[in-house]
Amino acid sequence: MRRFLDFLRSVLPADLTQLIFLCGIVCLIVGAHQSWWSFENVPNLPDQLTEQSRWDLHLFITLGIYPILFAVAAGYFFCFWPVRRTVLRIGLCVGLPVLLSVGLICGRYLYFQQSRRASVLDQNLRLPQNFHVVFAALRGLGPGLHFTFIGLLLIAIYVSRLAFGLSLLPLTLPATTFSSSHDDDSWRSARRLTWFLVAWFYTVIGFTYGIVLDGLDAIAIRLTHHAPGPWVYYFAESVATLALVLVAILLIGTSGSQEVQRAVSWCRPLYLVLGALFALGVSASISVGQYVFDRVDWAAHSFGMTDPPQFWDYFHVPRVILLWLFFAALAEEIIFRGLLQSRFVGRYGLDRGLFLVGIVWAAFHFFSDFTQVLGVQQIVLRMGFRIADCVALTYVLGWLTLRSRSVLPAAIAHTVSNIFAYSPLGPPFPWKYLVTMALWAVLAYVLFRYSPVQTNDPAEPDADVPFLNHARLEPE
């Protein structure tokens, strides 16, 4: 337990109050992707609204949250790089854009309510006299506003500490015994790439995906006069995935293309098989466990009255089309295991380096995790599960990468895991996601306990080789 607590302290910021700032940024991410308001929030509406009105509302809100996304990117920037006049810059680059989004969306909401219900804001009365009416109307807005307000409040609290000199930015971790020789171009490129992944990825790549998809739709309709098939979605996703890798190479610098080539180099087939077996074994273990549990329950309560559970009913063949997920998985593995892992491990050591890569990987998914309208408890649980799942998977995928010196085994394990997430091997049951995450964590412990990987001191002469040269394997 003491060792675990020491490790936990080593991966938390040296100034724990910096977590307030980070939580505020994450709340802004959640707020930007939750529902703000819809026509259902407005009383006394006609039974039917034009499709154009609904589209105008959707477009307005979509454009209205872009200042919040800019604020998120600026907030992450202050976490990675020191700047002068930090308080003023946070106010201008974070606080002001958020207030602009809130003002635009809330103003549109009140204007729409006024046009439908004149008693909400009587033009003959001054706003201060109707403040309680306006406040009551704004309470009808969705969770997007609530989380945005919480995020802005947390950031304001931390900025007040900055103003009085009680806290500092950027984020810093406790001192490490590893060399600081990685404070060079290699580490700066890692920070640039990390910032892009957690701040700009879904905005830039999502925009690329939308343009390609709309273009393919228009071309297919013009040539065939029919709506295109599902192939356009796969093609657009492939283009977006390729764009992600190209941006990562540009952010890494001159060595980026060489590192990617090393990352996708061929490896021993044993590790490719292990990658598939790890993911298949986790899903198969859950199905076998379900069968054993149901069989025991049947023997205890329904023996002789109903037919026993059949073993093969707990195994289903996934859809073949899901093999397309390999390209997205490979792109992520190239970036996180091929480009970032060696840099984080070289700077912070094996345990801390892999853990921090897992945290970055989890933050990379935050933009897509909260697109549905969720309650506070659901959001907290989803965020916790995402972090724990990414960290557990990072240790397994990191072990495969360090052992094979290639990201291909990790990409295969990642692909099979995603396939079973979209098309489960067995029937669903409550807390299945938690069980899956626990099995990955157990597998990671077994791998590092019985087949450990050690790291070289970054100060050694060969430590500046970019890809995976910070790892030394124990004799097999």
Q: Assess whether pLDDT exceeds 90 at residue 240.
A: no
Lowest mean pLDDT among 104-113, 348-357, 398-407: 104-113
Q: Assess whether pLDDT exceeds 70 at residue 178.
A: no
Q: Sorting pLDDT into bands at 50, 70 and 90, what band is 154?
A: very high
Omega prior to 170 cis, within 30 of 0: yes
CA 427, 431, 437, 439 torsion-angle sign: negative
Say what the pLDDT of residue 115 is: 61
Domains of the chain by residue range: 2-175, 264-298+307-473
Say what the pLDDT of residue 444 is: 96
Q: Sorting pLDDT into bands at 50, 70 and 90, what band is 21?
A: very high
Q: Which of 36-50, 89-103, 241-255 has the highest mean pLDDT?
A: 89-103
Which CA distances in Å does 222 have to 30, 177, 226, 345, 384? 39, 63, 8, 51, 46
Say what the pLDDT of residue 324 is: 87
Radius of gyration of the chain (CA): 25
Q: Sorting pLDDT into bands at 50, 70 and 90, what band is 35?
A: confident
Tokens of 246: 């190209």
| Stronger pLDDT, 183 or 70, i.e. the higher one | 70
C-alpha–C-alpha distance, residues 202 and 51, integer Å:
27
Give the count of beta carbons closer than 10 Å to the beta carbon of residue 227.
9
| Stronger pLDDT, 111 or 443, i.e. the higher one | 443
Total residue count of the chain as it appears in this document: 476
C-alpha–C-alpha distance, residues 405 and 25, integer Å:
35
Say what the pLDDT of residue 320 is: 83
| Stronger pLDDT, 394 or 138, i.e. the higher one | 394
Say what the pLDDT of residue 111 is: 74
Say what the pLDDT of residue 404 is: 94
DSSP 21-89: HHHHHHHHHHHHHS----GGGSSS--S---HHHHHHHHHHHHHHTHHHHHHHHHHHHHHHS--SSHHHH
pLDDT-above-70 percentage for the chain: 82
Say what the pLDDT of residue 119 is: 46
C-alpha–C-alpha distance, residues 65 and 36, integer Å:
10
Say what the pLDDT of residue 300 is: 85
Q: Assess whether pLDDT exceeds 80 at residue 445.
A: yes
Residues 186-206: pLDDT tens digits? 899 999 999 999 999 888 877
Residues 274-293: pLDDT tens digits? 999 999 999 999 999 999 99
C-alpha–C-alpha distance, residues 122 and 3, integer Å:
64
Say what the pLDDT of residue 428 is: 84
Residues 122-150: pLDDT tens digits? 444 444 455 665 666 566 677 888 899 99
pLDDT (mean) for 224-234: 71
pLDDT-above-90 percentage for the chain: 45
Q: Assess whether pLDDT exceeds 80 at residue 227.
A: no
Q: Sorting pLDDT into bands at 50, 70 and 90, what band is 368?
A: confident
Residue of 102, 143, 139 whose CA lies nearest to 374 = 143
Q: Look over the chain and give the mean of its residue pLDDT values, rounded to a whole number.
A: 83
Note the Cα 149 to chain centre separation in Å: 22
